Amino acid sequence: MDKKSFIVKEIGRLDKILAQEIIKSRNQVEQLIKEGLVTVNNKLVTKTGYKLSIGDTVEYSFKEVIPKEQVVVDFDVDIIYEDEVMMVINKPSGLVVHPAPSHKGVTLVDWLKSKGISLSTIAGEERHGIVHRIDRDTTGALVIAKTNEAHQKLSDQLRYKSMGRYYLALIDYPLKDSGTVEKPIGRNRKNRFRMDIVSDGKYAKSAFYKIAKSDTNVELVAVKLFTGRTHQIRVHLNSLGRHILGDVLYGFKSKKDTIKRVLLHAYKLYLVHPVTNQQMEFVAPIFSDMQDILYQQFNKGEIDEKINPNIINSYFDNITNRM
């Protein structure tokens, strides 16, 4: 790697001064620091807020990009909305959003690149354009950033809760009441593929609204997230003794030949356009496998009326109690 260095001329935070020096965004600089590519006075520093003094020597390098082998993308993804700076897609089940150590197959990022779509680079080479993610089996609305400026603004919206999603889930037994769950989430100590409620985990809050119960005790619920932890909805439901249909990882017991994936769908996405500042909402149509089970369990007319995207927001207006 080609290393470069400079002498600090003013007191300040490492991420701020480095961003000014190399003319990169703070997000890009944070990635450099966290990936161990920055030293101060020959000592590795991984804290973005590290305080620099006048005369310190900062050395940095950029991660070498190793070209990936050509991948074959033999699928397509529905685009809900697209303009010059962003797009919203309806992610299908089974599609991993970006490369990870546990997954070497084709990803959503590969599909985006195969389409020649210009993407932001803030999140690094393997996460081009990815502002937020959805679990592999979960379906629904996902926003993609095409420019670094749009990516930064959309990420800020996630942080400050002006962007969010309403989910629909089919669960194996009715909840006692609509309400909120506030329980910290961290990695399960016995199974690295699972998350769990742990005392030293990250704060997590979910709201659940009971939409309809079937004769077989299957319940359709709407979910609003106030935080975005890995597997958050699934973990919070598991803590209540409930499971999403098809979610065998967290304890749902079913015939695998009838329910082949987790029936959780990011149904409605709301955000502020990163350029026009217009409030926008997008609805991701429910995929046929989940919709078939919905109509088997419930009256079609009643369900269509209750999941009307124009009213789903209102379900959470008065939910304050904890479950």
Indicate which residues carry an active-site annotation. 135
Contacts of 110 (CB under 8 A, 6+ apart): 71, 73
3-state secondary structure (DSSP) of residue 28: helix
Residue 262 DSSP label? -
Radius of gyration of the chain (CA): 22
CB 43 within 8 A of CB 56: no
E-only strand ranges, 123-225 = 139-145, 164-171, 179-182, 185-187, 195-197, 205-213, 219-225
CB 269 within 8 A of CB 312: no
Distance CA 267, CA 166 (A): 6
Distance CA 176, CA 240 (A): 10
Nearest to 80 by CA among 72, 88, 71: 88
Nearest to 97 by CA among 126, 73, 70: 126
